[in-house]
Structure formats: structure tokens, C-alpha cells
Structure 1
Amino acid sequence: MLLLALGAAAQAQGLAKPVVTTERVRAELLAHAPEGVAPGKPVWLGLQIAHQPEWHTYWKNPGDSGLPTQLEWKLPAGLLAGEIQWPVPVKIPIGTLANYGYEGTVLLPVPLEVAPDFKPSPLAQEIDVRLKASWLVCRKECIPEEGEFAIKLPIRGSTAGHAQAFEAAFAAQPRPVITTRGEYIPNSTAQVADGALDIRVQGLPVSARGKKLEFFPETPEVIETAGAWTQEWKGAVWTARVPLSAQRSASPDVMPVVVAAGREGWRAELKVAGTWPKAAAPATVSPALEQALRNNAANTAAPAKPGIGLLAALAGALLGGLILNLMPCVFPVLAIKMVGFASHSGDMRARRVSGLAYTAGVVLSFLALGGVMLALRAAGEQLGWGFQLQSPLVIAALAALFTLIALNLSGVFGFGALLPSSVASMEMKHPISNAFLSGVLAVAIASPCTAPFMGASLGLAVTLPAVQALAVFACLGLGMALPYLAASLVPAAARWLPRPGAWMDVFRKLMAFPMFATVAWLVWVLGQQSGIDGAGALLALLVAMSLLVWTLTLRGRARVALSGIAALGLAALAWAAVPELVQPPAPSQQAARADTGWQPWSQAKVEQYVAAGQPVFVDFTAAWCVTCQYNKKTTLADRQVIDGLKRHNVALLRADWTRRDPAITAALSSLGRSGVPVYVFYKKGSPPVVLSEVLGVEEVLSVVSQL
């Protein structure tokens, strides 16, 4: 488990830098402190986003779809980051909808408050500023992106190198409407009447009078963003009639708005008079579903929680762990149990000890995985169940380990021939360590998939206090180990086992092939994560490692010479191959393996289809989840299911969680789940319908018939 924990930690720690570049944007963390960092002095930070042509990100109210950019700061004690000072947005029409956002280059400035008692170390010359940012960038499609940024801000010197960019951002911010005497006017109004807002804004500058203005409410989901609205100047007062949204989700008494002429804007707070009409139930997206859009769910409203208590979660975890033994994802590791059980077929005491050791390995492994996941989530990482297999390096390490196990079972080498005599003798004196480690390996491979009753329990576990959450993980491990534990403790089980003999050697070698099958599966998983070049690099490493192991079984000078050459070759190959392992597959390879009829998932697509009245079916899946692949090849490939989905015009979206994706993690969390597989139907005006983990044809057709 140390290997898995280290792999997860390495995966979670990105290399923070001032600039993050993707195919769609260039994002840079900027600072502006012309008088240094001291109480009462102006200090500004900001994220500058330069968009590729036709791409855009979103304002604080994104409009009909989208998400505003989220900023999470990590600052030294005594420093506090304020809210984003949003520049005036532009309206971005999308068919019959409209969004509010930014194109080209935009800087989102944030004021930095320095506490009066801020006293850095006398030796400190600068402070570390770190930022974790997430944004949704859209063209016709939408891509959730994120980045981790870091800069060093001089304490006493001036940081004014980006003064021009900040001055432009300040100039683009909306100014409060004022009277001719320079007083702020709070009495601009909005009257609710006949399904619309009649708006009056006073105090706009003379330069704006007579111009056609754009209208941007800061409160989302109140007006028809792309609706037909009228405006008129009545002397110095700007008036407009704006239709209310049929899916209005707010009824504010005071409604802050921005009116703009081009990139110049003014902010007013409208006092709302009249009686709001009864708001319709949201039909486009529920609050829990909207949260799934957010890359950093930690700073948003709490996700929907499953409606079960702790005792039900513990029972569900125990039952789910028990059923996990019947799931396809456990089949590759059954050989580990069977070899250990057969080796103690004639010794009741040894079998009992082995069963207890195996149970300890399973339970402690589940606790370790759960503890690492909870710790990383508490640190702000969006991780879910099965996170260890989202790292290509962990996949490669497991493939190497299972190759060694297979070579050992097949008789190519014995661990006693490779290990120092003292270690080998210790292994012989303490064979229960093998049973313990077999439990660890079983969890490493089998845990990523979720069995029935596991999903809700795991979803609740990540929201519970640490002690209660770990109790859920412990019950999950106990349930998985229970059949083997019971068989090892019940004397009657011995009658079902053949007596020790020569068959055990044949059986041991036979069990090497499920291990090789597990390696083949792991190579395939890595191919999904890193492409054909990554899979080829891993295969080359496994061949080189096997050669090295074989040379170590030789005797005399041949062993020294050949093993030295093999070790150097393996080291050189690893140096060249590791970069291939961690690279994502080329776009052409991703397109080549796309399933006909299925589209890549994004929350924006879910919103767009549902808003248009088209039902959506989402398959939350991963290449390392064998249950997911089983469902894909059976139920989801069934002709009745395919025809039913087509007949009801269901949009098919596939959320691939093979590599870590915070947006998918947040979407799962909003559904009360923490792992895959998860299958969900979305329909306008209805809550999401979550199906069972082991998908059945009748279950899918039953839901489809109600669409």
C-alpha cells in the first residue's frame, strides 16, 4: 500500500508555475504591488486568461450555461485574498441561448488585504503565493480545465511590471452609477409585472445617453438571457423591459446589475417592487447537478448526500464487500486466494492463520486506501474510489509486480534464489506474510470497481468524519474477506479440498496464467491512459525485467555477466520509457477508439440537451474498471437497449474516468457516489435516475420506457 499511497501523492502534487498553457487558453498568475507588501498599501493579484480564437470563459453569472472561473488561494498568515473584481462581460449567443463571458484576453484582478499585524521574518525577502484555479472554456464544446500557479512576491520592493494589464482591468470594471454631485444612487428600480421586469436606471453618465446598452444581471436564472427585450431612454433615465425566465430560481429583493456600452459598464442595485410570480421547478439542472460542473467543489455548496444513515452505510459496505467477490473485477485475483488456500489444505491451523492474515491484509488495505483518499480530498484534491489506478506509474508498478508473481508461480524462479538467505529463511518461518500480502494485492486490483450496495455507502463515507468514514471502509474490507475467512475457520471446508500431493505443483503453475491475464489487462488499461506507445513501452519494460530475473537464477560467471548487462539494459529502457508511460494518448488514437453513438461527457452538454428537452444517458466509466467493461460489452451492447435508446432519442454521453478528472469526480460526488460504474438518466423537469452498478437489460428498458 505504500507504493499506492506514494503514487497517489505524486499524482496529486502538480508542479506549480506562473503560467499554464492548454490547447485553448494561456493562463498566467500576475501580481501588482507598486509599494511592496505592507498594511495599507495596494496589493493586487490576478489570473490573466488569453483565449484561442472562438473560445471563451465565463463571468460571475455565466448566463444560460457555463461556470464562472474559480480561484482558491494559498497565502501566508496575515494575508487575505478578496473577491474577483469582474470586468464587464460580453454577451455570447449560442443558438437560442446566450451566455455572459470573456473572449480574447481578460485579467481577473483580486485585491490582497494585508493585516495590520503582518510581520514577515526579518530575513524574508519575498512571500510565496499559490493559486489553484479552475475554469470552463467553451466553443461549441466545453472543456473543464484547471491549473496550479505559484509566484514569489517581493515584500519590500515594487512589483509593477504588469501595471498596464492591471490598469486596463481596472478600467474595464463597471463603475457605480452616481448623481451629478458624485453620490451613489441606490434607488434604481425594477417592477415585476406580467412576467417581466420593468427596469429604471438613473445616474448613468451623459456619454452613455442615447446609446443602446447591454444588460447583465449578477443574479443567475432570473431573466430570459436571450429573450426579446426592449429598451428606451426617457431623458436621463434608461428603461428596459426584460422577460423573466420560465425556470427562474431566485426572487431577489435587491438585484445588482451591470449595464454596458461596449466594454464600458456601470453597476446599479435595483430595488425590486411588485410580487414575483411563482417560480417553476428548475428544468435544466438541479443544484446538485450544477455543482458537478465545478472543478473545485470544495468551495461551493455541499453536494447532494445519499439518504442513508451510518448504520445503513456500514451494512451496505459489508454486503457490498461480500458481493465484490462475485464481480468481474475480482476474477483476476482469485488465483492468489486459491493458491494460498490449496497450500494449507491439509493443515487446519495453518489455514486458520492464513485466513486471518488474508483478512488483515484486506481490511488494512481498505483502511489505507480510504485514509489516503480522505486525506487528499481534505487537502483539496478531487479524488474518488479507484484513484490509485488513475496513475499510469501505479499501473506500471502493479503490472511489474504481477509479472514477478506469475514468473514465480510458473517456476521460472523462486524468491529464495533471489533474496538473501536471511530474508528467505525469514519468509519460510513466517509464511503468513504471503497471505497478508495476497490480501493487499487483491484490494489493489479489485477495489476500484463498486459492487451493489457499495456505491451509496462510499458516497456517504467521503462526507462523514474521519473515524466514521474509516469504519465504512473497514466493513467493506471485512465483507470482501469474509468468504475466505469463513472457509479457513470452518473445519467442514477441509472435506472439499483434495489431499496434498503432486497436483499442487501443477495447480500452482496453472495459476500463473490468471496472473499473466491480469498483466495483459493492466497493459490494456495503461494503453487507454497513455496510448499505444505507452503500452508498448510497458511491455518492453516487462520483457527486460523478466530477462533480468531469469539471469539471476543462473550460476557462476554467467550470472554476474548476464545479470549486469540485463540490469543496465533495464535501467536504460526505463529512462527512455517512463516519459511514454505518463503521456496522454494522441488525439488521433482517442478518436480511433471512440464508440459509435457515444459522445465525450461534459456537464455543458448535459445542460444543453436537457434544456432542449432531449433525455440524456451518462455512462461514468473507466478502463481499469472490469465491471464497467463487462456492462459495456453486455447490457450496453444489447440490441434491445440500443434500439430503445435510439427510439426515445436519448443522447449518449460517456464520462471516462480512466485518468484523473476533477469534473467527473465532482459529478459523481453530486450523485452521492465515489466510484464507477455509475449510470444516470437525465430528463427535463425530473431528478437524475441512478441505475445499479451491475447493469441489466430490463432495468435500462424500464427507465427508457418512462422517458
Structure 2
Amino acid sequence: MLHRSPSLLTKAIFFIAILLAGAGSWAQLPTKGSGGAASAVVTTPHVRAELVAHAPQGIEPGQPLWLGLQITHQPEWHTYWKNPGDSGLPIEMAWTLPAGLDAGEIAWPLPKKIPIGTLANYGYEGTVLLPVPVTVASSFAPKVLSGDATVRLHATWLVCRKECIPEEGDFTLTIPARSTTAMHGAAFDAALAAQPKSVEAQGSQARIEGNTLQLSVQGLPEALRGKTLELFPETPEVIENAAAWTQAWKGAVWTAEVPLSAQRSNSPDPMPVVLAAEGQGYRTALKVLGAWPTVAAAATVSPALEAALKANAAAAPPPATTTSAPAATLVAALLGALLGGLILNLMPCVFPVLAIKVVGFAQHAQDRRAHRLSGLAYTAGVVLSFIALGGLMLGLRAAGEAIGWGFQLQSPAVVAGLAALFTLIALNLAGVFEFGHVLPSSVASLQARHPVADSFLTGVLAVAVAAPCTAPFMGASLGLTATLPGPQALAVFAALGLGLALPYLAAAFVPAVARALPRPGAWMDTLRRFMAFPMLATVVWLVWVLGQQSGIDGAGALLILLVALGMVAWALSLAGTARRFMAPVSVLALALLAWTFAPHITNVAAAPAAPPAAGSTAQWQAWTPGAAEQLVASGRPVFVDFTAAWCVTCQYNKKTTLADADVQAGFAAKNVALLRADWTRRDPAITAALAQLGRSGVPVYVLHAPGKAPVVFSEILSEGELRAAVAAL
């Protein structure tokens, strides 16, 4: 008996993977607690931030009310004080409070000095609470029914280890207005106790002597005398934070000689400073004597701070503004999408699924009505799937998330689900099992009774593997969709789907094509079994992609589960006693292996340093926000490769153009820094950087040069084009 392409039930399994695509992308986003959007907790891979309150006597005029953001850092990560030091950005808070409540400034606890190479920063590690005093006016009135007050906070912070990640969160907290809220009282007491205490500034001064500050401080507690003090200037960009300086006690007067920053941008008078010893801080304002040295025109901001500012700006999601495109622009985008979809039929990642459709067309070659229905259903599956994926991406962006095209394969769970699906399809094509033997006949015959639904699901399956391959032909068009109104943006996605389905839609309605198709026969069974090998090749690719996300342990775990899945499919196809014995054993084995090894699949492995391209002599470095700008500011050109393991075009360019000896020699001759931005796993900073370039997916190649606008190359990277651009530096 000849069997057609994988059954309707096999393809229906794919809907689970489609659902996992959305869930997988959300699973890697900041967690907002059990309250969803209205939560007091935001969790990221680097910190846990919680909005807390302290109202010992309830919310009453004249009674103390404190709000605060409590941040718990992962080991080795830190955020910054009001003066971050040589690099970094302070935490910022924007409050939305009920009428009658007014938030003051952050009561900053004492920071610690965090040396990083030749720099010195000021910030917090471990757990820190940043308290904010709130004034309650006599006009304050809580909610009529509940008697509660709802406060909202939008906070932004830069969290750093060796690399820096800009993060933000929206917090909502409901406080009972007429009862005590003291659950976090101990934390607020500790934070306020850690706040530097003010001391009398009379007689204290900072005298400018050349490029140094001569500090003289009086009124410090007697317990500090004779001890070595730490100095924290509240005004940034004044002193050399990491430089060595001298200090001494002259009776009750503490003196120090501190070098001024070569990149000084501020000239405070008075100059507020915090002095600390043994965890106790004291704040005073020093009168400045003498004239501040002239600030060099080129030194308005230190390079370290400039890099941090640019990193923060680069990682911030672009404004969610949409404007209707001019008619000519929209038509060009639609035509580009249609052409991109047509070319997509030639991509190797799409070929295995399209071959299934060819076999189906051959079956219907002599049945014109069935042929047309199949073509229409396949087109509907392709177009609607592209619209659904586009709508999901636009919806996530509208919610403020940094999402780009190809996000579905950034989830290890989705990659593993697709690998399992294609394994089952390959085994079915190879004849290892038939659905008619595995399932009751009423279920297994769904394909025969619903050929239209079968063709529709074939279209869905084609989109699943085709979507990540679209960026080479759709970079500009998909980037444009982020700025278009919803209907226009979805029209671009629909045009892309129509382009992919167009050859088969035309074949369904052009009699000459139908007459050219061979008649059904034994050759179809041979072709069907042969098509198992491209399917298995697709599984190999998916396992490799997962290995880039979850490491070798994740890839190994997936292979173990795929073998067990294959054994279950084989056991269920047996008959009689063999099936009754082997089926339960194989299902139990799969369940035990899944319980043991599945966690390895979704565990995100540490991102490795970017390796050199094959055959290259230049060393590629991992891209980080602001790195390219900082290198360009130092006078060095930079080439950035935005890539992903699941992007076939990216891998082709990496092994050919980027590995070309002449290209590598050109890079070396011009001292071009090579940065690789790996988007295999979800990275909001890379997504934002792509959006700034007007792109929504990879590959993207950018050449930065001092004093010149960035050059964005074609996704199909040409050796001649790249060599010419580098030679012109």
C-alpha cells in the first residue's frame, strides 16, 4: 500500500510547537511575579527587584511613609550609586502616585568601591534597599471602597559584571491606607541606618592646588580618628576615582590630597562628599577655595561614562510609534516580501517540507478539483501562519519587549519540539511505522477524510522551518514593519507567505503544470522513503542549534530522547504480544528519560566567547552594548557580524566570505576590530541594536569607522563589496 506524506495527525503535533514558540519567548523575558503586569516584583537573569512599602501608622498626614526598591543581585553583579564612578549609570525611578502623595529623592545607602581593571565604580552588590520618603498631604484620600492606595513605579538600572546589561521594570503595589504596613520595617531600618549621616561642615574645605584637591574635614566623630577613610564624591566626573591618593590625621582634622580627573566635567561649589570607615558613612559639603582648572573642550564626558550611556541607549527598545508608509514605500515592501517568499522555496531548510507537497501534488495530478483544493489549503496555511507569527511579534513589541524575526527558534523548547516532530516524520517516511498500525483506524484515517486540512497543516509546517531563513531576503521589509500600523505590517507578512506558496498555487490552477506531473505509481513509495533523509538532516541541524543554546549536555539529552521517541513509535507499530509487551516498556522508558534529561535541554548554557571564523587569522570578540562605539571613539574601525546558529545564510557567509583570506588580510591591514553579536539565544540588547539599524532579523553586517556613518551590507555578503569598503577606510 502506498502512503502519502506524513499524516494529518503528525502535522497536528506541530501546533504544540507553535504554541511553545510564544511561550518559549515569554519564558526568557523578565518575570513579573504572580501578579502579572500588576506585580511588585520583576525578576531578570541578573537581579530580583521588588517594590516595598513601610507605613508604621498607616498613610496619614504627618506620619512616616516610605517606599523603596529592594534589589537582590546575582553573585558578582552590581548596580550603581548616585555617582556611579568611572562607568555605569545610577538607578532612576519615575513614580505614579495617588493625589496627595509626593515622593522625595532616594535616600542612598552607603555604597562600596568596586574596582574594575583601571577604573573604579561606586555601587551595590548582594541585597540593597533604596528608600524613598513620601509626603502625605491633608488632601490625600484612599480608594472609596477598598481604602487602599495604589502606587506605581517605572525604574531603570544598569547591572554589570564584566559586561553591562541595561534593564528596567514596571512595578505596582497596593498599600492599605488605614492599617499598619510594617512587613519590611527591618529592611527599611537597616537601609536608613546605612545612609551617611550629616556632619557640620564649618571649617571644612577643598582647596584647588594645580590638578589636585587639598581636602580638610572637621567635625568627624572621634571614633574615626586615626583610621583610613574611603572617599565617595557625590558629584561625578570630578576626581580620579581609581588613582592613589594620600591622607592623614592632624589631630581632629582629616586631610587628603586627591588628583583631579583629566576628563573633569563638573566644578561643584560646595562639593558634597561622603567619608566612610568600617561601614559607617558621614556626609559633608566642602567649601571650594581657588579656581577650578579649565575643562578641556574634548573632555566633556569620560569615555567610560560615554560608553555606558551609549550602551543604555542602544539597549532601550525603540519608541513604539507607527506611521503609515507612503504608497510607493508600502508597494515596494510588499513586492520585496513577495519576491523574498518566492526565493525562499530554494532555501535548504525549506526543501524537506516542500518535497512532501510535491509528492501530494503528484497524487492529485489527475484530479483537478482535489489539486486546486490542495493548493488553496496549502496557501491558506502558509499565509495565515506568517500573519500569526507576525502578529505575535508585533504584539510582543507593543508590550515593550525586544523581539525580532526568528524569535521562535531562540527557545530551546521550540527547537527540541521541532526536532521531535521531524524525527517522527522521518521515521514515518522511512516506513519504520505507519499511523494506521499505531492508532485506531478512525483516528489514523483522518488524513484520507480531510485532505484539505492535511494540505493546510503542510503549509503551517513549511512556515515553521522557513521563517528563520527569511531574513536574507526580508531584512529591510521586516524591519519596516516595526514602524507601520498593524494592518500594513501584517500585509507585508501576508505577501511573504503568498510568495512562498505562489509556485504551488499556480501549479494547482495551471493545467499545463498538472499534465507535466507524472502519474502515481511505485516511484512514489521510493521517493517517500528517500525523503526521510532530508528530514533527518533537518534534525541534525536542529540538534546543532540546540547545542549552541544549551551546550553539549543539552544536545546529548535531546539525542537520547529522540532515540527513545523512535523506540516508542516502533513499539506501537508492532502487533500482538510483542506490542503488548514492548509498548508499555518503551513508553515508560521515554517517560523516565524525559524526567531525567529534559531539564538539560532548557538549561541555557553560558555564552562562549565568539570563536574565530574558520580559516581566519583575526580574532573575533563577543559583541556587547557600546563596545563598537567605544572602539570607534578610540580611532579604530569596527566590523560587526549579527548572526545566529539557526540562520543558514549566516553560517554560509561565516564559512565563505568572512573566512576569505583576502577579506581577513584587509581587516588586519586596516586594524579592524571584529565583533560577533550572537542572536542564537534571546538577547534584548542585540534586538534593539538591529532595530536601530532598521532590521528585524539576521544576518546583518555593519562596518563602523571614525567620523563616518555606519555601512550596512547586503545580507548575501559579497567578498568584493566587503573588501572594497574595508580598503576605503
TM-score bracket, shorter-length normalisation: 0.7 to 0.9
The whole-number CA distance in structure 1 between the counterparts of 2:655 and 2:664 is 12
Residue 534 of structure 1 corresponds to 554
Residue 701 of structure 2 corresponds to 679
Residue 65 of structure 2 corresponds to 42
Residue 5 of structure 1 corresponds to 19
**Residue 260 (structure 1) shift:** 5.4
Letter of the structure 1 residue corresponding to residue 683 of structure 2: D
Q: Does residue 656 of structure 1 match 2:678?
A: yes
Q: Does residue 16 of structure 1 match 2:16?
A: no
TM-score, with structure 1 as normaliser: 0.77
TM-score, with structure 2 as normaliser: 0.75
**Residue 381 (structure 1) shift:** 2.5
Q: Does residue 610 of structure 1 match 2:632?
A: yes
Residue 142 of structure 2 corresponds to 118
Alignment of 1:352-391 (within 5 A): 352-391=372-411
Change (3 A) 1:289 1:697: farther
Secondary structure in 1 matching 2:654 = helix
Letter of the structure 1 residue corresponding to residue 488 of structure 2: Q
Question: Bigger shift: 669-678 or 522-531?
Answer: 669-678
The whole-number CA distance in structure 2 between the counterparts of 1:487 and 1:282 is 64
Which of residues 12, 15, 31 in structure 1 aligns to 2:52? 31
Residue 422 of structure 2 corresponds to 402
Question: Bigger shift: 14-23 or 610-619?
Answer: 14-23
Secondary structure in 2 matching 1:636 = coil
Alignment of 1:337-356 (within 5 A): 337-356=357-376
**Residue 295 (structure 1) shift:** 8.8
- % identical equivalent positions: 55
Secondary structure in 2 matching 1:539 = helix
**Residue 412 (structure 1) shift:** 2.1
Which of residues 498, 502, 506 in structure 2 aligns to 1:486? 506
Alignment of 1:182-221 (within 5 A): none
Change (3 A) 1:116 1:68: same
Cα deviation 1:383-424 (Å, max 9, x = unaligned):
211111111111111111111111121222233333433334
Letter of the structure 2 residue corresponding to residue 619 of structure 1: D
Change (3 A) 1:137 1:506: same
Alignment of 1:444-483 (within 5 A): 444-483=464-503
**Residue 466 (structure 1) shift:** 2.4
Question: Bigger shift: 110-119 or 679-688?
Answer: 110-119
Contact 2:623-2:677 at 8 Å conserved across structures: yes
Residue 5 of structure 2 corresponds to none
RMSD, aligned CA: 5.4
Change (3 A) 1:472 1:132: farther
**Residue 505 (structure 1) shift:** 1.2
Letter of the structure 1 residue corresponding to residue 50 of structure 2: L
**Residue 545 (structure 1) shift:** 1.3
Letter of the structure 2 residue corresponding to residue 119 of structure 1: K
Over alpha carbons, which structure has the higher Rg?
Answer: 2
Which of residues 310, 316, 329 in structure 2 aligns to 1:297? 316
Contact 2:272-2:285 at 8 Å conserved across structures: yes
Contact 1:450-1:693 at 8 Å conserved across structures: no
Letter of the structure 1 residue corresponding to residue 696 of structure 2: S
**Residue 518 (structure 1) shift:** 0.7
The whole-number CA distance in structure 2 between the counterparts of 1:52 and 1:412 is 50
Alignment of 1:561-580 (within 5 A): 561-580=581-600
**Residue 325 (structure 1) shift:** 2.8
Letter of the structure 2 residue corresponding to residue 34 of structure 1: A
**Structure 1 unaligned runs (5+)?**
181-198, 229-239, 269-275
Contact 2:52-2:69 at 8 Å conserved across structures: yes
The whole-number CA distance in structure 1 between the counterparts of 2:304 and 2:668 is 23
Question: Bigger shift: 417-426 or 303-312?
Answer: 303-312
Change (3 A) 1:282 1:620: farther
The whole-number CA distance in structure 2 between the counterparts of 1:369 and 1:577 is 30
Alignment of 1:524-673 (within 5 A): 524-585=544-605, 590=608, 597-673=619-695
Contact 1:545-1:570 at 8 Å conserved across structures: yes
The whole-number CA distance in structure 2 between the counterparts of 1:244 and 1:302 is 40
The whole-number CA distance in structure 2 between the counterparts of 1:403 and 1:78 is 63
Letter of the structure 1 residue corresponding to residue 701 of structure 2: Y
**Residue 363 (structure 1) shift:** 0.8
Secondary structure in 2 matching 1:384 = coil
Secondary structure in 1 matching 2:346 = coil
Residue 433 of structure 1 corresponds to 453
Letter of the structure 2 residue corresponding to residue 8 of structure 1: G
Letter of the structure 1 residue corresponding to residue 677 of structure 2: A
**Residue 326 (structure 1) shift:** 3.4
Change (3 A) 1:574 1:603: same
Letter of the structure 2 residue corresponding to residue 671 of structure 1: L
Change (3 A) 1:567 1:673: same
Letter of the structure 1 residue corresponding to residue 657 of structure 2: T
The whole-number CA distance in structure 2 between the counterparts of 1:207 and 1:584 is 51
The alignment covers a number of residue pairs equal to 672
Letter of the structure 1 residue corresponding to residue 424 of structure 2: L
The whole-number CA distance in structure 2 between the counterparts of 1:72 and 1:371 is 31
Contact 1:537-1:577 at 8 Å conserved across structures: yes
Letter of the structure 1 residue corresponding to residue 663 of structure 2: V
**Structure 2 unaligned runs (5+)?**
1-14, 35-39, 203-212, 222-228, 244-257, 287-294
**Residue 282 (structure 1) shift:** 11
**Residue 292 (structure 1) shift:** 5.8
